[in-house]
Structure formats: C-alpha cells, structure tokens
Copies of this chain bind each other. A is one copy, B any other.
C-alpha cells in the first residue's frame, strides 16, 4: 500500500518511482519508437496503397475502455474485500479479547488472558504467512509455547488449528466455572466469524479472476497500442508520437494497476500492507491487556510504501 504523501512534486516523483510507472516505462519507450517509425514510413505505405484511419481505433478504443473499466472494477473489488476481511480480523480479535476479559471476569493482566491474546496474535501472523506462502515458524515460535508452535509448523491449515486452540481455551474456562453457556456462545459466534475471515482470504488467494479476462485484455491492450500510431499518423502527422504515447500510457497504466490489485496479498507497491496490519493487531490487543511497552508502529519506507 502506498501512503498518500502531501503533493510535493519532488517527493511525488519518488513515490511514483516505487510504483507502477517503471513496469510500463520500457513499454512506453517501445511505443514511442513505433510511433516514430509510423511517421517515417507513412508516405512509403501510402504509395503501396496501405493505409489506416483513426475511425476503427475510436470504436475499438472505446470498447477497450469499457472492458478495462470492467476489469478494474473486478480487481478493485477483490482488493477491498481482502482489506475488509483483514479489518474484520482486527475487529473480531478485539471483540474476542474484550469478551475473554469481561465474560470470564478476568483482569487484563491475568496470564490466562495473555495466553488467549498470544493465540489471537499468532493467528494473524499465521494467516499472513499462509497467504504469502512464506514460512511462519519463526513468528509462531516467538509468540506461542514451544510445543504448540512445533505442532502447528507441520500443519497444512495452521489457522484452522489455532481456532481449535482458542475453542479449547473457552472449554477450559467453561469447565472451571468461569464462563456460562450463554457467554461461551457469545465468544463462539466470533470464532465462526474468524473462520469466515480465514476462508474468505483463502478464497481470494486461491481463486484468480477468470484467467481469460486478464490475458484477453492485457493482450488486446498491447496490440491496440502497437497499431495505434499507424491509425493516428494520417490524421495528425508529426504529433503522432506525442498523442499515441499519451493514449498508450493511460491504457497500459490502468491495465497494470488492475494486475497489481488482482492479487492483494502480494508484495508489490499497491498490495495490502499485511506486515503493518499484523503489527496493528498486535499493538491494539496488547494495549487492551494494559501492556505498557508496545512494539513501535511500522513506518512507510522512503517510497511511502507500507509492506
């Protein structure tokens, strides 16, 4: 995620540099070269009776804009659904910790509460690593008892097993007479919610946008931009390179943004800052336990990007 800086142009260039532009800059240079070629060869082609006009490009360009708008809608919805699921994770963890304190009548600094909190925090980190397919062993070892961390390290669905651990904690409180049937139900409902959040994230990570949309549009946009200068040159002559690079930039950038948003759990500049979100969950839950010494919040890097 790119944090929106105040609009000072020099810093803006820096942000941009860490973002979409570099990916398409080389392609824009190629487009420029082709546009120059189109201008240079225009007379030659005309003598051969081969010519294009802008009209079919207008038709196809507007159709492409409609389809690109559609694809961007899809990708953007995925991105926000993913973000909402992580927002729900924060919210539900806070609610469950509040309930684990108030419904059992335990104080915030009770070690039992600390154990519950550690499992909630571990759940967030485990989910992050599962979605990014990175290794979560070190992080779980930091947060959980050694025996549990080892058991989870070899699991295929560690987050689901952590939910079972949380349910076991509730059963223990219930057995100890600390938690009534009704109160256990209240927390159990939130466990269902966590299960939905985990399943929702797995769905987004595991089911791409129908592949044909991405390939079809990506391909069509690039072919369109390649042919465009030849359609423009009869109309605007020497200014063809300027205008065709401008139009290509707009279409290719929208195609590139959609491509980044499509997989919101990646580590590209426009993806979700899962590291920062995990840290927020950790900080907020620890503060609820009156822990004085919270870990420092994450700062954006010099490209204004949170990982």
Query: A191 to B95, Cβ gap below 8 A?
Result: yes
* Cβ of A32 to closest chain B Cβ, rounded Å: 16
* Cβ of A102 to closest chain B Cβ, rounded Å: 4
- Complex CA–CA separation, A55 to B52 (angstroms): 14
Please give me the residue from chain B that is nearest to A50 by CB atom: B238
Query: A207 to B98, Cβ gap below 8 A?
Result: no
Q: Which of B92, B94, B157, B270 contacts A284 (CB 8 A)?
A: B157
Query: A56 to B232, Cβ gap below 8 A?
Result: yes
Q: Encode contact with B along A20-52: 1 for CB under 8 Å, 0 otherwise.
A: 100000000000000000000000000001111
CB-CB under 8 A from A185, the residues of chain B are 182-183, 185-186
Instruction: List CB contacts (< 8 Å) of A42-96 with chain B.
Output: 49-70, 72-74, 76, 79, 83-84, 87-88, 90-92, 94-95
Interface residues of A (CB under 8 A from B): 1-4, 12, 15-16, 19-20, 49-70, 72-74, 76, 79, 83-84, 87-88, 90-92, 94-95, 98-99, 101-103, 105, 108, 155-157, 160-161, 163-164, 167-168, 170-171, 180-186, 188-192, 195-196, 198-200, 202-203, 207-208, 210-216, 220, 223, 227, 232, 235-239, 243, 246-247, 249-251, 253-254, 257, 260-261, 270, 283-284, 287-288, 294
Q: Which of B55, B103, B288 contacts A188 (CB 8 A)?
A: B103
* Cβ of A168 to closest chain B Cβ, rounded Å: 7
CB-CB under 8 A from A216, the residues of chain B are 20, 250, 253-254, 257
CB-CB under 8 A from A247, the residues of chain B are 56, 59-60, 63
CB-CB under 8 A from A213, the residues of chain B are 257
Provide 15 A-B residue pairs closer than 8 Å at the C-beta atoms, listed in order of the A residue.
A1-B207, A4-B208, A20-B212, A49-B237, A52-B236, A53-B235, A60-B61, A63-B247, A65-B66, A83-B207, A91-B200, A160-B288, A212-B260, A213-B257, A220-B249
